[in-house]
Structure 1
Amino acid sequence: MDFRRIEIIFLVVFLSLDVFLLVSFHNSQQVISNSTTGVTSTLTDMRKRNITFGKLDKKAGQAYYLGAQQSNDLADNTSKLRNQEIEYNQTSYKLMSTLEEPISINSDNRKSKLDSFMKKESNILFGSEYTYSPQLSSSTQLVYAETGPLGVMYDKTGQLIFSVVNGKVVSYTQTYMKTLDILQEKQATKSEQDVVTNLYSSSEIPNNSKITYTNMAYTKLLEAKGSTIYIPVWFISIHNKDSKVDTVKKVNAFTGNILKTSSNGEDYSNE
C-alpha cells in the first residue's frame, strides 16, 4: 500500500475542509453583519420620520406553548365575596359583580386603590394572581391580567376588568385559569428590536408617532375539546402624535407574524 499517497490524499481532504469551514464562517459573519447593518439603517430611518422609542432589547428570549382547561373555580368560591351582587355565567366561565359601594378614583390613585382593594379575598377572588395591564386599560376600563410563574396572560380567559363610571369603579368582570400546563419545551422568541423594526418595515408604524409600551404576554391561539392553547405574543403600543390615537399591534413572538383581529374579536395571522 502506498502510505505516502494516502497521506497526501488525507492532507488534501483536510485542507479542503479547512477552506470550506473558513469560507462558511466568513459568509455567516457577513450575513450577521448585513443583518446588523439593516437593523441599524431601519432604526435610523425611523428616527428621521419622527418615530420615537426607547432602547430596544436586541436579545431573543424563550417561551412555551401552554395549555389549560377552563374550570368553575370562581363559581366554587363566590361565597367568600362580600358587599357585592354576583352573577356567574357557566358558558363563558365569567363572574360578574356589581359593587354595593363604588370606589372613587382618579388618574393618580386608581392603580394603588384597586391594588389595595384586591388584597382582600372578600373583595376579589385570587386577587394576588393578577397584575395591572396599562396596555389593555382605558379611562373607562381598568384591566388586570392573570399572572403566574410562566408569565402574564393578555387574554379574555384570564382577566379582571373594572368598569369606571363618572370617576367611580362600579363593577367588574373576572375570568380565571387555575393551571397552565407546558405543552412543549422552550422555544426561541423574537427580540423586542426585531419585532419593532419588522412592524415599521411592514408599514404598521406611522410617521410622527411614539412607541409607548412593549410587552410580551400569553394569549389564546385556539380552543379544542374544552382545552385552550396559548402562545407568547408581543404587544406594541403606538401613539400617533397627529391624531392623538393609541393603537396596540400584536405579533406572534415565535414567528414574528403580525396578528389581525377578525370581526368576532379573535386574533389571526395575516401571513
Structure 2
Amino acid sequence: MDFRRIEIIFLIVFCSLDIWLLFSFRNGQQIVSSSNTTTSTVADMRKRDISFGKLDSKAGTAYYLGSRPNSTLANNIGHLRDQEVQYDSTDHKIDSSLNDPISVTKANQTTKLNSFLKKETNVAFGTKYKYAPQLSTSSQIVYAQTDQVGELYDKSGRVTFDVENKKVVGYTQTYVDDLMILHEKEATKSEKDVISNLYTNSEIPNNSKITYANLAYAKLTEAKGSTIYIPVWFVTIQNKDSKVNSLKKVNAFTGNIIKNSTTAATTGDEDSE
C-alpha cells in the first residue's frame, strides 16, 4: 500500500475540511455556552416534565478520523459456517442468511448475540462490535464497530441482525479495516451543553424522557474516495405517552445540531420468555 500517497490525499481532504468547518461554524446555529444559562435551562426542562439523569458537564476530546474502502470482509468469507453468504463489492457488505435462526426475547437477545459474535465462524471480526441500543429497533438489532478511539455509529461499520417472529434469521455486515487519525485531539462539547442546546432549539418536547446520550463517530463527508468521520452526540428522546423514540445528532466539535437526521422507532414491544 502506498502510505505516502494516502497521507497526501488525506492532507488535501483535511485542508478542504478546515475551510468547510470554518464556513459551517460562522453560519451555524447559536450554541448555549454560558454555564449560568445552561443551569437555568436544565431547571426549566424539569419544570416541563422532561426527565433525564445526571448530565456530565465535563468537556472531552476526540479526533477527525479517515478511512478508505477495503475488501477485508470479502477475504474472510471463507471462515464463515452454517450460513449462506453473499458479498456486495460495491458497498463492501456481507449479507448472511443463517441456516438455523436464533430464538431471542427482549430479555436475552444481547446475551445470545454477544456469544454468537465471539465465534469467528459466525461473524468476521465479531468481537470488534458492540450492541448499539440507540440504533436498534424491534426488527433490527444493531451492533456498532468499536475501535481504540471509540464507537463508530455509521453504516460503514456495523452488524445488523434481522429479527422475524422472535428469531434472528440473518445479518448484514460492514467493516472499516483501518481508521486513520487525521489530526490531533480537539475539545468536544459536554453532554450537559449538548442537551441544553437541543432544548433551547426546541428539539426536546415537553413530557419526554432522555433515555440515551452517547458520543460516537459518524461520517461527515466523502472526498477522493476517502471517508471522513467526526465525533457526534447521539441523543435518544422518548415520548412518555406514545413510547416512540426520536434520535437527535449533534456535532460534538461545534455543538451544531445535525438536521434531517431524526429517526423514529417504536420500542414498546415487549417479548416474553
Q: What TM-score range do you get, normalising by the shorter chain?
A: 0.7 to 0.9
Q: What SS does the corresponding residue of 1:38 show, helix, strand or coil?
A: helix
What SS does the corresponding residue of 2:35 show, helix, strand or coil?
A: helix
Where 1:156 maps in the other structure, the secondary structure is coil
Residue number in structure 2 paired with 1:122: 121
**Aligned match of 2:150:** 151
SS in 2 for 1:39: helix
What residue is the counterpart of 1:101 in the other structure?
A: 100
How much has 1:262 moved relative to structure 2? 6.9
SS at match of 1:193: helix
Report the CA distance between 1:40 and its aligned residue.
Answer: 1.4
1:5-46 CA distance string (max 9 Å, x none): xxxxxxxxxxxxxxxxxxxxxxxxxxxxx9222111111110
Cα distance between partner residues in 2 of 1:126 and 1:37 = 46
Runs of 4+ in 1 over 3 A off after TM superposition: none
The DSSP-based 3-state class of the residue aligned with 1:223 is strand
Measured against aligned partners, the alpha-carbon deviations of 1:201-245 in whole angstroms (never above 9, x if no partner) come to 000000010000000000001111221100000000000113321
- CA distance in structure 1 between the partners assigned to 2:129 and 2:119 by the alignment: 13
Equivalent residue pairs, number: 230
Deviation string 1:76-128 (CA, Å, 9 cap, x unpaired) is 11000001111011100000000000000001100000000111100000001
**1:234 and 2:206 equivalent?**
no
Where in structure 2 are the equivalents of 1:23-102 lying within 5 Å? 35-102=34-101
Tell me the equivalent position of 1:168.
167
Residue of structure 2 equivalent to 1:213:
212
Give the AA of the match of 2:121: S
User: 2:189 matched to which residue of 1?
Assistant: 190
The answer as to 2:242 corresponding to 1:243 is: yes
AA partner of residue 97 (structure 1): S
What are the ranges of 5 or more consecutive residues in structure 1 without an aligned counterpart? 1-33, 264-271
Counterpart for residue 202 of structure 1: 201
Q: Is the 8 A contact 2:153 2:218 kept in 1?
A: yes
Whether the aligned pair in 1 keeps the contact of 2:97 and 2:171 (CA below 8 Å) is yes
Q: Give the TM-score taking structure 2 as reference length.
A: 0.83
- Which residue of the partner structure matches residue 132 of structure 1? 131
Q: State how far apart, in whole Å, the 2-side matches of 1:141 and 1:218 are.
A: 20
Output the TM-score relative to the length of structure 1: 0.83
SS class of match (1:73): coil
- In structure 2, distance between residues paired with 1:83 and 1:51: 47
For 1:209 and 1:261, the matched residues in 2 are separated by 20
SS of residue paired to 1:111: helix
Mapped partners of 2:86, 2:173: distance in 1:
11
Give the partner amino acid of 1:139.
Answer: S
One-letter identity of the residue aligned with 2:120: E
The one-letter code sitting in structure 2 at the alignment partner of 1:144 is Y
Distance in 2 (alpha carbons) for counterparts of 1:262 and 1:198: 16
Match of 1:6 in 2: none
- Code of the residue aligned with 2:194 in structure 1: it is V
Matches of 1:185 and 1:211, distance apart in 2: 32
Q: Distance in 2 between matches of 1:50 and 1:257?
A: 25
- CA RMSD in angstroms comes to 1.3
2:145 partner letter: E
**1:262 & 1:251 partners in 2: Cα distance?**
10
Alpha-carbon distance between aligned partners in 1 of 2:60 and 2:78, rounded to the nearest angstrom = 42
Give the share of equivalent positions with the same residue, in percent.
61
Q: What is the CA distance between 1:165 and its match in structure 2? A: 0.1
SS in 2 for 1:46: helix
